[in-house]
A = this chain, B = another copy of it.
Amino acid sequence: MINWNNLDTLSSYRKLSDVPKIDLVAEMTGENGAKRVKNFSVPMACGLSYNYAAKEVDDTILSNLSELAKEAQLSEKFEALYNGEVINTGEKRLVLHQLTRGQLGEKVMADGVDKREFYVKEQKRIADFANKVHSGEITNAKGEKFTTVVQIGIGGSDLGPRAMYLALENWAKRTGNFKMEAKFISNVDPDDASAVLASTDVEHSIFILVSKSGTTLETLTNESFVTDALKKAGLDQSKHMIAVTSETSPLAKSDSFLEAFFMDDYIGGRYSSTSGVGGAVLSLAFGPDVFAQFLDGAAKEDKLATEADPLKNPAMLDALIGFYERNILGYGSTAVLPYSQGLSRFPAHLQQLDMESNGKSVNRFGEPIDYVTGPIIFGEPGTNGQHSFYQLLHQGTDIIPLQFIGFKNSQLQNDVNIQDSTSQQKLCANVAAQIVAFACGKKDDNLNKNFKGGRPSSIIVGEELNPGSLGALLSHFENKVMFQGFIWNINSFDQEGVQLGKVLAKKVLAHETDGALAEYSKLLNI
């Protein structure tokens, strides 16, 4: 029996405030610090590990967090989710993105079909299509091979797939898995589509139109840019464009497309990288086998997330520590800092994943809540960030928890040795140094050069950023966000907050405005 209770009704939550806080500087200094780094680590899938030595927790706090995990029934709730309960209560929908990469529990039937079979079938159709494009069985009208794939989509149809593409591009080039270059058009700003198309060889391009509903205004508008470009080049759209959409969308039955691949309402946009939304572009760019490895990494990490003991479940533990920082320690944001150029847009994906999921002020029943929920997420790759905003992270007046990510090896494995170390070693030395600098600080009589320390961080470390570890990384954060939603008793799977802006924008375009909106419309010359 699952109880969906607000956080502030849990006795383990009320107890937590009274548990003594730790002094991170003291804990992380000397041999005790070394011990923490060795002990405060959980294995993840695909050679990754989650190390939380530099977080403001000790055994007492961890045991209280475990108690809260139990009282909040985090494990049971995940089980209900993957067994097909209606977890997205606002929209009355199942939440099935984990099913795109594996079967964690019972068979899930919906719309009269076995949903796992449905997702696998669509993946196979995409794989078959991609193989035919790569082999030259599917070509342009002149019988020439396609060289480029252009994804048209916004939000979840853009950020996740784009971040994943960038994360694997260099790896694929080194390992001989690079099949086609991918580009992305997302913004309704006409300069976005115009610039991408001006630099694209449309005659040798496949365009993927991605919209679950088939009604996303930005995406349909950008389709028109592509339609115009194809027409101008004397090309037939139905030979150059495919759709990824739901079976009930107007795009599903259109004959403007070479093919249509399907997802459904049980996969939210920000959770769709492992569905056809990510599958089509990644399979075309790197081949279906690479996409399968990516899914496999995610499936393995999902499996770890089913573990009831948070000390063996990195996503749950990360969620609990994040909740502790947010609701007990009062920190309002988290910086995501991947020391990997391949992850340059991964923070932007996590920003959507986390902030759109958990930026809510009502519980899952639509009732007001009296505690804070999702934090601000932002970040840039290191070492770039060090030369940008780290000043504030080290010496600013607010404390900002940090999520580092690092890999022992680079992706292209091309390096130079300067001052007795490679660039990859310098990169890794910097992330190690930063964690300790943030945690321990350094006393200086000149307060301008003084570092208080006590700034908490965790790090996910891996061997290499490749399809498997990327899948595991993605799954980790999806499940972390889900567990935090359970803790806060909110619905992490709807996004009603994006509606009002859409409604008002339509009014502006229809010139049905008054008051401030009319004046702003004038100001912007609409």
Query: Is B516 a contact of A439 with CB atoms below 8 Å?
Result: yes
Known: A359-B394, A432-B526, A434-B505. 20 other contacts (CB 8 A): A29-B516, A90-B448, A189-B427, A190-B414, A191-B411, A195-B412, A332-B332, A333-B376, A348-B380, A360-B396, A362-B448, A367-B447, A394-B497, A394-B501, A395-B497, A408-B525, A429-B526, A432-B524, A434-B504, A459-B520
The answer to whether residues A359 and B520 also contact, given A436-B504, A525-B428 and a CB cut-off of 8 A, is: no
Provide the residues of chain B in CB contact with A389, threshold 8 Å.
Answer: 351-352, 355-356, 359, 377
Query: Is A500 a contact of B367 with CB atoms below 8 Å?
Result: no
Question: Cα distance A113–B415 when bound, in Å?
Answer: 43
Can you give 20 A-B contacts (C-beta < 8 A)? A33-B519, A38-B519, A154-B387, A189-B341, A189-B427, A190-B423, A190-B424, A224-B416, A352-B388, A356-B392, A366-B448, A369-B397, A391-B498, A408-B525, A426-B509, A428-B525, A432-B523, A432-B526, A434-B505, A437-B501
Q: Is A221 an interface residue (CB 8 A)?
A: yes
Query: Is A388 a contact of B449 with CB atoms below 8 Å?
Result: no
Q: Is A136 an interface residue (CB 8 A)?
A: no
Q: Which residues of A in the span 368-406 have a Cβ within 8 Å of any Cβ on B? A: 368-369, 371-374, 376-378, 380-384, 386-398, 400, 406
Provide the residues of chain B in CB contact with A446, threshold 8 Å.
Answer: 366
Question: Cα distance A285–B377 when bound, in Å?
Answer: 34
The answer to whether residues A448 and B494 also contact, given A191-B341, A389-B356, A434-B501 and a CB cut-off of 8 A, is: yes
Query: Is A519 a contact of B37 with CB atoms below 8 Å?
Result: yes
The answer to whether residues A516 and B53 also contact, given A495-B391, A525-B428 and a CB cut-off of 8 A, is: yes
* Residues of chain A at interface, number, CB under 8 A: 156
Query: Is B188 a contact of A426 with CB atoms below 8 Å?
Result: yes
